[in-house]
A and B are shown apart, each in its own frame.
Chain A
Amino acid sequence: MGRKVGIVATGQTKHGPKRLDVNLRELITEAVTRALEDAGLRMEDVDAVFLGNMEPFEGFMFPELWSVEGWGGYLKPSVKFNTGGTVGTTTTMAAYYYVAAGLYDTVLAVGFEKQSDGHTQAAITTVGDPVWERTMMAGAVGNFAVMASTYIHESGVTPEQAAKVAVKARRNACNNEYAHLQMPNLTVEEVLASQILAHPIRKLDMCPQSDGAVAMVIAEESKARKLAPRPAWIRAVATAHEQQYMGDSPKRLAIMRSQIAASQKVYKAVGITNPRKELDVAEIYEVATYAEMAMYENLGFCERGHGGKLIDEGVTSMNGELPVNPSGGVLSTNPIGATAMIRVAEAALQVMGKAGTRQVPNVRTALATGYGGNAWTDALILASN
């Protein structure tokens, strides 16, 4: 394998529904500046920039090129990715591969989205095949309603269990100064009484639409050791895709083959056989409450059919055996082009011991995931050694 690579610094914007105080360029600057300050670097110390964004949501082709001064890219190498929900992890992995390959020593990875500039759900409608799928499941909510229905059928999870996931996320988010939705007093009853969007998904079962950006400084081993007392080493990365059409893979939204394949690859790479015991924290891309429970099963946190039990027993709560999404997760913050990279940044903060009031004690190994497109998955293992 190539060189050892670590995350040494992170920066996030305050994420919110409409960041009308900044334009896209300024939004990116906010995250990049914080990441550079965190690393004690200046832009000239950065060799290359890796960018992730879902431009159809802004209705803007190459928004990163218009924003080039916002991320300090003038006359620097840069490359831009666009892979849907996973784009933040796709971009992180690209940065990892280039540094591991020895092409660059210190790079910046940036994910951003200003959904208030465009119309996300209109753009998401076009992800479906124009002939077979586009007329059936418009937008993310429809897709996850099908997912949740299948998953309920398979596992018998209840709306109450889903509501507990919603409460966990929004309460955890109160410890995250950057989170979009912070709801300290949210109750299961309120979730169950929230507006139905597409059965069985209620408004509070679903992630919000956010404006926000995230940046990370990623460096090869010797630079990383100089820049951070405790870098979050990228120990393993994997991507797994599903088949194109929903009907080609039976129950694909409940039995998430890509989650199984990607997570098993990274577990195997670092020798994890019991993720529930061997991972100290997970930041996963849970687009809806039901998805989080399905992911528990597919990521191997519990046996199949026990996703609901895990939330009932508090295993994934802040004080549980394996805290999942101390940041509040996607359910609390979702600037899509940044969302998966926020998972990585939050996992890195946990490993670096810099997560503040949302810090899980003694984190040595963390999992971060991305999820999107045709139900595809990215998985990364970060570790302190």
Chain B
Amino acid sequence: MRTDVAIVGAVQTRYEAKKAHQTYNELVYEVVSELLKQTGVPMQEIESMVTASQDFWDGKTISSMSVSEVVGGYLKSEAKVASDGIQALIYGAARILAGAFEYTLVVAHCKESEGQGQTITAVMFDPYCQRPLGVIAPTVAALQARAYMNAAGIGSETLAQVSQKNHRDAMKNPLALRAGDYKIEQILSADAYADPLTELMAAPTSDGACALLLASPEKARTFGSRAVWISGMGNSTDAYWTDRDLAQADALSQAAKRAYQMAGVGAKDIDIAEISARYAQEELLYGEALGLWARKDVAKVAASENGGKVNPSGGAITGNPATVAGLTRVAEAYLQLSDAAGAHQVPGASVALAQGADGICGQTQAVVILRRGEA
């Protein structure tokens, strides 16, 4: 089926380690007001908003309370997804497809710097048997990296190659938090994050927000080539992390299958993939689950810079916060297909894929496929 919903604008903050000068409502105000300016759509015409934020990161129960007004929700319909912002985007598209709204504003925010990541990520874990062990997000990322290295027969050099490519690409992305032309040895000998991952193989603590405007076909057509069409969407949830093989991403395979089917395309048709990899191994594992490459080829893929079509923005590993990272992927895919990516523009792409995940080791996954052209 055709989805008949378009993205007509996308705005991100610069991602920074600590945005001490702005509260998170101010971050949201920054992206929303810029988005309205860029699209020329007045707030009065927008009746629907879907936001994504995480109470534990915000240190606030019902974290959307401080942004519902900033996104224009007064006397209007705002709803909050407690997962990655890509899920908010899919819900926003559903609201338009249902014929209920002409526009939906989709916004995600997080200031990781305001919380203590080690304390916050600890409460994702099973309260009976796992929390007493002190397990936190870096621990399981490392376990997953090791499991994947064993399963794919690769060493930490391969992970370092992924990191090297992304940080080099991020040098062309003015919004990226961490960028640089690191040598493989530098990446491998950086401070340990959680063995086998080093600090340069894991996303740094990051603050930022991202907003997109979705529109019905009638509205979208007035935007010309700035309208990029959502042609496929899929999501899926896996078993809890201790009940599955961490070297597999079955939920992502399922989500991708649904998105490809809806879009009527296959992995071979994807010109650009923005993969939500906060850790180096995730890019290889997720690319595999998306059908972009086979496991036996991952060493080759990493050495050849993933064929040049994965994460031209530098990706989440260069610093996008939790909850925002997946929506950032959609924003970046949109920028590519609307020829607005600036220095990191990849020429001539017509189909792009964006992926987001949340939960422990990507337990819940979502995929969105975008295409250029007419509705």
Contact = CB atoms under 8 A, between A and B. Distances in A.
Interface stretch (B10-18, B87-95, B303-311, B325-333): B87-95
Contact of A65 (B77, B94, B96, B364): B364
A100 B100 contact: yes
Interface stretch (B54-62, B154-162, B206-214, B281-289): B54-62
B62 A243 contact: no
A374 B254 CA distance: 38
A2 B100 contact: yes
Contacts of B121: 61
A80 B81 contact: yes
20 contacts: A59-B127, A61-B121, A66-B126, A68-B238, A69-B243, A76-B237, A77-B237, A79-B83, A79-B91, A81-B80, A98-B98, A100-B98, A101-B93, A101-B95, A126-B61, A127-B65, A238-B77, A239-B76, A241-B75, A244-B70
A129 B38 CA distance: 30
Contact of A56 (B61, B81, B90, B255): B61
A55 B70 CA distance: 24
Contacts of B251: 75
A129 B65 CA distance: 9
A103 B233 contact: yes
Given A56-B56, A98-B94, A376 B68 contact: yes
A241 B66 CA distance: 12
B64 interface: yes
B82 to A, nearest CB: 4
A100 B99 contact: yes
Nearest to B126: A66
B239 interface: yes
Contacts of B69: 241, 243-244, 374
B99 to A, nearest CB: 4
A373 B64 contact: yes
A124 B1 CA distance: 43
Nearest to B80: A83
Interface residues of A, number: 58
A84 interface: yes
Given A100-B99, A239-B79, A77 B62 contact: no
Nearest to B251: A75
B132 to A, nearest CB: 14
Interface string A346-375: 000000000000000000000000001110
Interface stretch (A7-15, A89-97, A178-186, A202-210): A89-97
Given A127-B60, A373-B65, A373-B68, A81 B239 contact: no
Interface string B94-119: 11111110000000000000000000
Nearest to B262: A103
A256 B68 CA distance: 17
A54 interface: yes
A73 B237 CA distance: 6
A254 B125 CA distance: 41
A170 interface: no
B75 A258 contact: yes
A164 interface: no
Interface stretch (B184-192, B268-276, B355-363): B355-363
Given A61-B124, A97-B94, A243-B69, A83 B254 contact: no
A102 B1 contact: yes
A123 interface: yes
Contacts of A102: 1, 97
A123 B59 CA distance: 9
A150 interface: no
A97 B91 CA distance: 8
A82 B326 CA distance: 18
A190 B123 CA distance: 41
Interface in B291-307: none
A77 B100 contact: no
A103 B93 CA distance: 10
A79 B87 contact: yes
A78 B364 contact: yes
Interface string A1-22: 1100000000000000000000
A372 B78 CA distance: 13
B169 interface: no
Nearest to A258: B75
Contacts of B360: 62, 65
B interface secondary structure, majority = mixed
Contacts of A77: 234-237, 255, 258
A329 B255 CA distance: 39
Contacts of A59: 123, 127
Interface residues on B, range: 35 or more
A56 B76 contact: no
B97 to A, nearest CB: 3
Contacts of A57: 61
Contacts of A103: 94, 97, 233
Contact of A55 (B55, B65, B364): B55
A296 to B, nearest CB: 20
Contacts of B237: 65, 68, 73-78
Contacts of A68: 237-240, 363
Given A65-B240, A83-B64, A127-B65, A94 B91 contact: yes
A92 B153 CA distance: 46
B68 A244 contact: yes
Contacts of B81: 79-82
A100 B237 CA distance: 22
Contact of B65 (A62, A117, A244): A244
Given A54-B61, A94-B79, A126-B59, A1 B123 contact: no
Given A79-B81, A84-B62, A101 B359 contact: no
B357 to A, nearest CB: 11
Nearest to B100: A97
Contacts of B254: 75
B235 A78 contact: yes
B249 to A, nearest CB: 11
Interface string A113-153: 00001000001101101100000000000000000000000
Nearest to B72: A241
Contact of A101 (B56, B98, B120, B243): B98
Identify the interface centre among B55, B78, B251: most chain A CB within 10 Å of its CB. Answer: B55
A126 B240 contact: no
A349 to B, nearest CB: 25
A65 B244 CA distance: 13
Identify the interface centre among A1, A81, A84, A127: most chain B CB within 10 Å of its CB. Answer: A81
A124 B62 CA distance: 9
Contacts of B65: 84, 127, 244, 373-374
Contacts of A93: 79
A93 B236 CA distance: 20
